Structure 1
Amino acid sequence: MRTNWDDFRFFLAVARHGTLTLAAAQLGVDHATVSRRIAALEENIKTKLFHRSPQGYALSDAGLKMLPIAEQVESDAMRAIDELSDKRSDLSGPVRIGAHEGVASFLLAEGAAELCRLHPQLEVQLITVPRNFSLSKREADFVITGSRPQTGRVKIRKIASYALHIYGAQSYLDNHAEIIARRDLKRVRGIGYIPDMIFDKELDYIPSVDPSLKAHLTATSLHVQVQLAVDGAGVCILPDYIAKDHANLIPILPDEVEIKRDLWLTIHEDLAHLTRVRTVADFITKDVQQRLKARA
């Protein structure tokens, strides 16, 4: 019986993604190649590692036993490569960061650009798809979220806290009833996220102000919400670090209504030791802290 690292690499891709198509996309090959390599691996060890069905590939009992072994091989391989590359003076290779759109746009973008300037061979990839990311499936090297993860083989650090207030453009406020108390918010048009498409509960801000309130102009994109507020379409709950970039946005009831949120950085244990991932995570953490402090 003979196996090599590629056998484990193909096995892990299918185990994490559950389909040949997604595994092939990650590996940069066609799905027929993945199918052939998995079949050859199973034939080599005389054991079925997956249950096949129209829905995809599910790990068999043997596959479940194989998974931690393959992950350890992967981790050892990455550590060996990392230690060898440490002999070079500069960082290189990809680092993929998953984050909310607002965090990526307003807090990470400039820092990512600075990292690439400092390390020309480094590839910083920002993923802002509106959903949660799976570190176990290697969808990202680390993620920055508003919710603190509860489980998994991960290392977690709190980056910082930040405040949110209700904001509206002066042009909108001039043409609507004066807002002097929370009850007056029911008389203005609210801007916010589409309720049934909020993927992180920490982004559901409105109930923190008043559970009876409802936004009547909604979008999945924070960029769109900001633009609607700037254009005078209504009032919107926004992080201060975003609103302060727009001179025409006025805080509403700032002493009465304030929401606090935290930012968390989460990284899989198998990646935390990699120099390029650790360096990027440390840089981003300090950079975000400085940006939030400057805009507080």
Structure 2
Amino acid sequence: MAPPLAWDDFRLIKAIADHRGLTSAAERLGINHSTAFRRLGQIEAALGTSLFERHRTGYAPTPAGEEMAQVAARMEDDVAAFSRKLDGQVLAVSGELRITTADSLFNELLAPILGRFCARHPEVRVDVVLSNQPLNLSKRDADVALRATDDPPDTLVGRRLATIAWALYGRAEDGAEAPLAARRWVSLAEGTGAAKVARYVAARAGPARIAVRLDTVAGLAEAVEAGIGIAPLACLTGDRRPGLMRLSAPEPDLAAGLWLLTHADLRHSARVRAFLDFAAGEIARERHLIEGREPLSAPR
């Protein structure tokens, strides 16, 4: 009979299976490589079976390793669900609040809102995760997400706060007279989570006139201001920069919903509820900017 296994044993096997190697798995768990190597050997010895095949390209789980990793995943889900339910019962506006959003939304919208929220609720410690790819709120990667999306996950609850308008922008000093067909463009890469922006540029510029591709929305405005080329920008970003001007009206095909989301188990948590209500009220005051209701000739 195999000896009982600890939760940390399952976590290690899952991390190795996820990362296909010891080094990344050890970093994920906050341990060193030699500790991970030693623990894996101890687990395999205790079970009397090999959990991974060692290759030059990495660690491939055996059927036993795959099954242990799947058990660990189910255990993680159960632990996360239990943690969410406990947090949902906390009545005090205090403790850690983990928020995820894209870098561009943080820079242009969320940062000042967080400043005012923290001043009002000093007992809340905010942890911000900037990611252009959505994190898994079901696994407690974050408590709250501010996302640009037209299709929020069914597992989350929240509210649509506004429609993020996008338009085409160039440098004000370059004017609007030059035909778009003669201009160079800046584009987003396809895998950034804003694929429709990349498709918009590709349809109008073609590969020959795309000077630079970026993997982050936050860098688009800087690239346009630097004179690299013209690009679609969220109006919230472009209209605030005196050195830029709109070259088009807001493009309906580029619009996206702005959602404030959390997991259903957390919506009654006092700190989550306090942030959701506060952020929604603050964002409502910025809605005219988010939705691009500035005339093309507005002074800058």
TM over 0.5: yes
| 8 Å CA contact retained: 2:50, 2:62 | yes
Equivalents in 2 of 1:9, 1:80: separation in Å? 17
- Alignment map for 1:241-280 (pairs within 5 Å): 241-254=236-249, 257-263=251-257, 273=265, 275=269
Name the CA distance, whole Å, in 2 between partners of 1:276 and 1:74: 24
The C-alpha deviation readout for 1:38-80, integer Å capped at 9, x for no partner, is 3323333334333322222233222332334323323333454
2 CA distance for matches of 1:56 and 1:134? 26
TM-score between both structures, scaled by the size of structure 1 = 0.71
Please give the residue correspondences for 1:197-216 in structure 2 after superposition, counting only pairs within 5 Å.
200-207=194-201, 210=204, 212=206, 214-216=209-211
CA contact (8 A) 2:26 2:32 kept: yes
* Equivalent-residue separation in structure 1 for 2:74 and 2:106 (angstroms): 31
Q: Give structure 2 stretches of 5+ with no counterpart.
A: 292-300
Question: Offset of 1:121 from its aligned partner?
Answer: 4.6
- 3-state SS, counterpart of residue 210 of structure 2: coil
Post-superposition offset of 1:277: 9.6
> Is 1:18 the counterpart of 2:20 in the alignment?
yes
- Indicate if the aligned counterparts of 2:185 and 2:210 stay in contact, CA closer than 8 A: yes
Counterpart AA for 1:261: A
Change in CA separation of 1:222 and 1:287 when aligned onto 2, cut-off 3 Å: farther
**Correspondences of 1:20-59 after superposition (within 5 Å):** 20-59=22-61
| Counterpart selection for 1:186 from 181, 190, 193 | 181
Are 1:125 and 2:117 counterparts?
A: no
1:16 positional shift? 2.5
Q: In the alignment, is the contact (CA less than 8 A) between 1:24 and 1:30 conserved in 2?
A: yes
Residue 95 (str. 1) matches residue 98 (str. 2): yes
Q: Does 1:229 align with 2:232?
A: no
Measured in 2, the distance between the counterparts of 1:276 and 1:115 equals 14
Which of these residues, 287, 290, 299, is aligned with residue 293 of structure 1? 287
In the TM superposition, 1:129-144 aligns within 5 A as: 132=133, 135=136, 140-141=141-142
Aligned amino acid, residue 188 of structure 1: R
Count of aligned residue pairs for this structure pair: 281
What's the % identity of the aligned pairs?
18
Q: CA deviation at 1:265?
A: 6.5
Distance 2:288 2:129 in 1: 23
Q: Whole-Å Cα distance in 1 between the matches of residues 108 and 220 of structure 2?
A: 14
User: Which moved further from structure 2: 34-43 or 284-293?
Assistant: 284-293
Residues 249-277 of structure 1 deviation map (CA, whole Å, 9 limit, x = unaligned): 3222327x554332577999xx7635599
Change (3 A) 1:13 1:115: farther
TM-score relative to the length of structure 2? 0.70
**Kindly tell me: are residues 188 and 200 of structure 1, through their superposed partners in 2, closer, same or farther at Cα, counting changes over 3 Å?**
closer
Preserved contact between residue 91 and residue 270 of structure 2 (Cα < 8 Å): no
